Amino acid sequence: MEVILKRPDGSRVKIIVRLDLDLYRCKKPEYKFTVFACKKGKRTWFASFDSNNYRYRKLSMDERVVFQNESMYSMVTHTELVEAATKLWMSLKP
């Protein structure tokens, strides 16, 4: 599910949220978020982090998760992520 938020400065933020079900490992379902931003008056979206960046690639897997979360939270608040996850949940609810 996609949620697009408009900022007061005219820029936009897109939150893509998905529910990850790992039935093979019997793990609890968890929400996965991807955040993109678009500058005012532009149509091009850019991700909260660049996975091809050398600084990102030299990190361990655990450090990458921390880096992804820090970059994501620099663009959106926790409340906005919860609202997007709630919207997804309400669309799945029978």
Pairing status of strand 46-47 against strand 12-20? unpaired
Q: Across the beta sheet with 46-47, what order do the strands follow?
A: 2-6, 12-20, 30-38, 46-47
Could you tell me which residue, 22 or 88, shows the higher pLDDT? Answer: 88
Q: How confident is the model at residue 38 (pLDDT cuts 50, 70, 90)?
A: very high
Q: How confident is the model at residue 9 (pLDDT cuts 50, 70, 90)?
A: very high
pLDDT at 71: 92
Mean pLDDT value across residues 76-82: 95
pTM: 0.85
**pLDDT tens digits for 46-78?**
999 888 888 899 999 999 999 999 999 999 999
For residues 35-71, b (16+ Cβ closer than 10 Å) or e, as one string? bbbbeeeeeeeeebbeeeeeeeeeeeeeeeeebbeee
pLDDT at 66: 93
pLDDT at 45: 96
